Chains A and B, each alone.
Chain A
């Protein structure tokens, strides 16, 4: 069973469209994250949720809206997609009180905006 699963793995779409990426974890973790990896491979956190509560929002355009229906799911919705949104988006999860054990990442969603 995949611990952190993201769908879709690849997403190609036109500028101006709205798209969603879904993430689910079956590890019993209470904290989930979205990271963005740009074309230079730099990884930066976008959002973090703990038990469905937003705890980190790192100066991300408000076209990006995360939603966490429960602590096992964290979805990312992007409105009015722009060329600069092309990147790989990683979902991750951790157990807040045991963060020393690392963060488990999903396999990534490669978003290409044309």
Chain B
């Protein structure tokens, strides 16, 4: 069963608009962590933001925020005021349990920012 689902294979957004990238997850473990990574065309994996299952508030990092809806098991990434440099693949990932040592990734969303 797919643990992390990203339903948007591709997104096209005008520069300066906000964009929401969807991510739903499936786990029965009460303790888990959710991550978003950016992979530009150069190929490296860049950590963007983290949300813990017990965190009361949504995580924010600069222009990135995570819309965490625990009951719906969704962890959408919101990028405000998009820039051309935001064009990349975006991956949602989950770590289950406190001692778990692996990230499980979604299929990714390719975001293209148009000028």
- Mask for A88-104, Cβ within 8 A of B = 1, else 0? 10101010100111111
With A103-B47, A105-B44 as known contacts, state yes or no: A43 contacts B105, CB within 8 Å.
yes
Binds A, one of B19-27, B64-72, B95-103: B95-103
Question: How far is A33 from B79 in the complex, measured between Cα atoms in Å?
Answer: 29
Q: Quick check: B33 and A107 within 8 Å, CB to CB?
A: no
Residues on A with beta carbons closer than 8 Å to the beta carbon of B101: 31, 33, 48, 50, 55-56, 94, 96, 99
Question: How far is A94 from B105 in the complex, measured between Cα atoms in Å?
Answer: 16
Residues on B with beta carbons closer than 8 Å to the beta carbon of A43: 91, 93, 105
Residues on B with beta carbons closer than 8 Å to the beta carbon of A103: 35, 47, 103
CB interface residues, A 61-102, toward B, < 8 Å: 88, 90, 92, 94, 96, 99-102
Q: Is B18 among interface residues, defined by CB-CB distance under 8 A?
A: no
Q: Quick check: A100 and B99 within 8 Å, CB to CB?
A: no
Residues on B with beta carbons closer than 8 Å to the beta carbon of A42: 105, 107-108
Interface residues of B (CB under 8 A from A): 33, 35, 37, 39, 43-45, 47, 50, 52, 89, 91, 93, 95, 99-105, 107-108
